[in-house]
Chains A and B, each alone.
Chain A
């Protein structure tokens, strides 16, 4: 009796490609993504970008900079060259602005007079990155304990060898540094799920024969897809709105003063995820197929794109791979709005990519939907 039951289950599973994918491909794919994120590193610590402004320009300060450069940090003192023209070195104000705009999570300013009495540096940090400032702080003390003290000939007893005046230049007035990040990150992931489910209504209509009836009226396939895209986009925007209102009411995310940025990013993201939902629906043959396929694709996009784990903590290759996902661009845009307090005009790269991706996905979906038009 047991054997036929097992055999029946195996036969059913073998013929259900969706269930097979969920059973075997999804776990392996997920494992691989997280193995690359966490297991692929050869270094104990990630290579963190640090801006160093050496106002002192003494032997001691230069020794400190050289010491930091020899550690697992990516230390630089000037912006990347533009059009082959080398840019001037950062000033303290420039470094602070660079941290605010996300060029680096940490900047160190070695002030004039460093090392004369009590060695002290100023640190500008982005508190959304909880790892980088701590790492830089530790390495700074290590370098100070070794190279710099030797150079400046002082001993500080049990106290820290270099005093660090750290200041959050991003999010210093925020109540909860990561809430707005996760509102966007989790929000986008669920938007993708609900857009694929809403897009699935197309498959329901095809299976029930309602689609044939609709297309025999004055409604064309282009109109139908455009209508469904608008519905999915409105649904997605409403979901985001509720998510951020909740974050505002309960977690004190400052929605009212970022409303314009939220609307711009919310509409762009909603359009892109709606087009993604249309594409998934028009790719799949049946509603039963859509479920596992959308789960597989959305979870993979979300893990690579930073909905589950911040991209800035991922290896560089994974960070770049994340740019192929809607999640990454949406999260980056919302982070600019809610975290970095950037103006709406600074959102153009994210908005352009999301709308462009949405248009491309919709055009592909429209072409795939031709199979429903005539037979």
Chain B
């Protein structure tokens, strides 16, 4: 049974979206299984938000389709199952936390009793019970982010799309948000989580899809991604005294590449570093600093795209 035959919470097949000459999403296919957290890791402009907006129905794709629990994403049942936490603080700033949640709950068609229970749950989940009757404009940045997330969950969806929910949040508030997401995972909710922070993807996600220029360039668990990119090799970072065309050509001749003045190589054994140092010295390229690094998601992204994740 391949991945598309497994029971899926969300299925995306051959999704394409163009804006004029720009292809924001270039044929993405994905599956999110029940209870899974899939990280979409990519730099700004990679197409993550457009993909999320296609899933929510806010952007009409040029090709491909999305289904939620095997029903089209634009159906009423899919809408009930989908929750969306947009990147922007999409809240009514003059309303209180409670009023915001009640408003969005009513927009989702919740009845009086369900709405009351959902508001209580959301306020507790977001740790905003004691600020329930404060207006949004009086909240701190982290609190607004938490309320923004809670508003996306007011109708208790089974699949949640989180579009960079920690943008502009300090580390302490970010940890609080991680705890909130982990509690959702404990309830078996399926999550798509977009970010350009690899630490977030590593901590929260079962699987990670690396997206760049509207395409998924690698997909798997963190270990699978590293293994596929480096095949058990380690990464050597070398800083030269001077980086010129000759140094770049020398690095590339040895299978490496230069990024932001730093040369990246991959080696099978740590002892291979000695050979690299020797070759550099014989070529007259002075090295200022050499270090060995176990490959991470940043290395994987760099390996596949030749660019830093946060460029």
Contacts and interface: CB of A to CB of B under 8 A. Distances in A.
Interface stretch (A49-57, A67-75, A216-224, A296-304): A216-224
A208 B136 CA distance: 13
A93 to B, nearest CB: 59
Given A216-B57, A216-B79, A374-B59, A209 B88 contact: yes
A278 to B, nearest CB: 19
Nearest to B87: A209
A130 interface: no
B92 interface: yes
Interface residues of B, number: 26
A217 B104 contact: yes
Judged by DSSP, the binding face of B is: loop
A210 interface: yes
A212 interface: yes
Interface in A187-224: 208-210, 212-219
Interface in A322-375: 374-375
B30 interface: no
B259 to A, nearest CB: 34
A210 B92 contact: yes
Contacts of A213: 84, 86, 90, 104, 151-152
Interface in B51-73: 53, 56-60
B89 interface: yes
Contacts of B88: 208-209, 212
Nearest to A211: B90
Contacts of B60: 374-375
Interface in A222-255: none
A135 B137 CA distance: 61
Interface in B98-151: 104, 107-109, 151
B152 A209 contact: no
A92 B87 CA distance: 75
Interface residues of A, number: 13
B222 to A, nearest CB: 31
B107 A217 contact: yes
Interface string B4-38: 00000000000000010000000000000000000
A209 B79 CA distance: 18
Contacts of B19: 375
B208 interface: no
B91 interface: yes
Contact of B90 (A210, A218, A374): A210
Interface string A111-138: 0000000000000000000000000000
Nearest to A214: B107
B108 A218 contact: yes
Contacts of B56: 212, 216
A91 B90 CA distance: 69
B86 A218 contact: no
Nearest to B109: A218
- Considering the complex of A and B, which 3 residue pairs feature the smallest CB-CB distances, nearest first? A209-B88, A217-B107, A209-B90
